[in-house]
Amino acid sequence: MLAGPALAQSAAQPDEGNPLANIFKYGGTTKPPEAPPNLDDVYCPTIDVTEGGSSLQTMAGGTVRTQIRLGQLSRACRPAEGGSTVVTVGVQGMVLLGPGGAPGRFTAPVVVTLKAGSQVIGRRSHQAVATIPAGQASGSFTVVENGFVVPAAQAKDFEIEVGLGSPSKPARAPRRKPAAAAPADG
C-alpha cells in the first residue's frame, strides 16, 4: 500500500526531477535543454513605401529625361543581444530613359527609415548608381543597408520604410514678419 502514495508524490514533482515522467514526455530520463530562439520568432515587418516615394522623374526642357522607380524590396531580421533586433534592408530599382534622356550614369536617392510610431530609430540615405549603356533604355541599381539595430523596447513594434528622394524633415512653421503696430486712437 505504501507504493501507491509514494508513486503519487513522485508524479507531483516538477518535470526536471521526475525521471519516470520525463521518459514519457521527452523520451529520456532528463528534460532536454531549451532550444535556442527560433529566427521565425523575430518580429520583421513588411516594408512600406513612403508616400510619393515609389518613383521620381527628372525633366530637361519640359520633357521627361529619366524616370527612377523602385522595384523589389527585401528585409531580414535576426535576434541580437539583450532582446534587440538587427535589420538588413535591400532595395532594387530601375532608371528608365524618357524622350529627353540619353544613355549615361544616373544616381537614385534611396532613403531607408526604421521607426517606432513617430520616433525614428534609424535613417540612412544612399545615392545608388545605375548605368544605361548606349543602345539601351534602362539600367538597374541595388542598395543593401546592413546593421540597423532596433532596441529591445521597440523590437516587437517597429516599421520599415523605403522611398526615393531626400529624407523627410519635420515640418516647420513658416516665419512670419511681425505685424506692424496699429496706430493708436487718440
Shared-domain flag, residues 28 and 55: no
Share of the chain above pLDDT 70, in %: 68
Domain match, 45 and 85 both: yes
pLDDT at 91: 97
42 has a pLDDT exceeding 60: yes
pLDDT band at 74 (very low <50, low <70, confident <90, very high): very high
Q: What is the domain-level CATH number for residue 138?
A: 2.60.40
- Quote the CA–CA distance of 144 and 33 in Å, as a whole number: 37
SS3 state of residue 84: coil
Same structural domain, 14 and 96 = no
pTM equals 0.69
Q: Which of 73-76's residues contact partners 24+ apart within 8 Å by CB, and which partners?
A: 73/47, 73/49, 73/162, 74/47, 75/44, 75/45, 75/46, 75/47, 75/160, 76/44
Looking at per-residue confidence, does 35 or 179 come out higher?
35
Asked whether residue 72 falls in the same domain as residue 119, the answer is: yes
Q: 85-97 and 104-116: which strand pairing?
A: unpaired
Confidence of residue 8 (pLDDT cuts 50, 70, 90): very low
User: What confidence tens digit (pLDDT) does each residue in 80-116 have?
Assistant: 989 999 999 999 999 999 999 999 999 999 999 999 9
Residues 59 and 131 in one domain: yes
For the chain, the domain total comes to: 2
Spatial distance between the Cα atoms of 116 and 132, rounded to a whole number of angstroms: 38
Q: What is the DSSP string of 90-126?
A: EEEEEEEE-TT--SEEEEEEEEEEEEETTEEEEEEEE
Same domain, 55 and 114: yes
- Is 171 part of a structural domain of the chain? no
69 falls within a domain: yes
Predicted confidence band of residue 18 (pLDDT cuts 50, 70, 90): confident
Does 48 score more than 90 pLDDT?
A: yes
CA separation for the pair 44, 41 (Å, rounded): 9
Q: Residue 142 and residue 137: Cα distance in Å, rounded?
A: 18
180 within a domain of the structure (yes/no): no
Within a domain: 8: yes
Higher pLDDT, 184 or 135: 135
Work out the pLDDT band at 128, boundaries 50, 70, 90. Answer: very high
Q: What cell numbers appear for 87 in the block? A: 535589420
Please provide the DSSP assignment of 127-143 as one string.
EEEEEE-TT-SEEEEEE
Angle ∠(53,56,61) on CA atoms, nearest 5 = 155
Q: Is residue 138 part of a domain?
A: yes
Q: Are residues 45 and 115 in the same domain?
A: yes
Average pLDDT, the chain: 81
Residue with cell 540612412: 124
Q: Domain range for residue 96?
A: 39-164
pLDDT tens-digit readout, 129-153: 999 999 999 999 999 999 999 999 9
